[in-house]
Amino acid sequence: MVREHELYYGAALLKLISLSEYPVEIKPFASFKGNSSYVINGKVGIYIKHSTLRMSPWGFTFQRIHQDELTQLEAAFNDTFLLLICETDGVVILASPEVKTLLNLNHGGTQWISVKRGKREQYQVKGSNGQLAFKVADSDYPRKLLAALKLTKE
């Protein structure tokens, strides 16, 4: 049986693999037994969450265990990204400094991120700790991740 999160995660990871000009190796992040953290080519960490809401705004909740996992991933890799899958609309990619604008990973309580997008617009992202001063383009994923991995021809 294919679980719901596997469909969403698989679609996001397939987009990464399909658009890369070089081989991509994806492994689970060994420090956690969950199914949300992965290591790309042994050098970049990603944490994935998904929302099944059909329309904007999409909400993402971060319990203490999720915050701990993000913190450990960030400690293990220079480059880490949070991927927020907004049903079938697209994937919002956030680098570690952007995540810190949205979430206080030392807080301990439940935190959240909300993603909003109007028709033919970019994503507006805010969290329990603040909001981004800019909008996130749909085309940022997987471009930003591939750039961090140096998997595009210059």
The token pair that represents 40 in the structure block? 């790309």
Is the pLDDT at 16 greater than 70, yes or no? yes
Confidence of residue 145 (pLDDT cuts 50, 70, 90): very high
pLDDT of residue 106: 82
Helix (H, G, I), strand (E, B) or coil at 30: coil
Judged by average pLDDT, the poorest of 9-13, 33-37, 111-115 is: 33-37
Tally of CA atoms within 13 A in the half-sphere of 151 that contains its CB = 21
Confidence of residue 111 (pLDDT cuts 50, 70, 90): very high
pLDDT of residue 154: 52
| Rounded Cα–Cα distance for residues 107 and 125 (Å) | 20
Secondary-structure percent of the chain, ordered helix, strand, coil, rounded to 5:
30, 30, 40
Confidence of residue 82 (pLDDT cuts 50, 70, 90): very high
Which secondary structure element, helix H or strand E, spans residue 50, and what is its range?
strand 44-51
Q: Is the pTM of this model over 0.75?
A: yes
Mean pLDDT of 72-92: 96
Mean pLDDT of 91-108: 92
Domain boundaries, the chain: 4-148
| Rounded Cα–Cα distance for residues 43 and 75 (Å) | 12
pLDDT of residue 152: 63
Q: Which residues lie closer than 8 Å to 153 by C-beta, 6 or more apart?
A: 21
pLDDT of residue 45: 97
The token pair that represents 67 in the structure block? 């915050």
pLDDT of residue 63: 93
Is the pLDDT at 105 greater than 90, yes or no? no
By the 8 A CB rule, do 80 and 113 touch?
Answer: no
pLDDT tens digit string along 20-79?
999 999 999 976 667 899 999 999 999 999 999 999 999 999 999 899 999 999 999 999
pLDDT of residue 153: 59
| Rounded Cα–Cα distance for residues 134 and 72 (Å) | 27
- The CATH number of domain 4-148 is 3.40.1350: yes
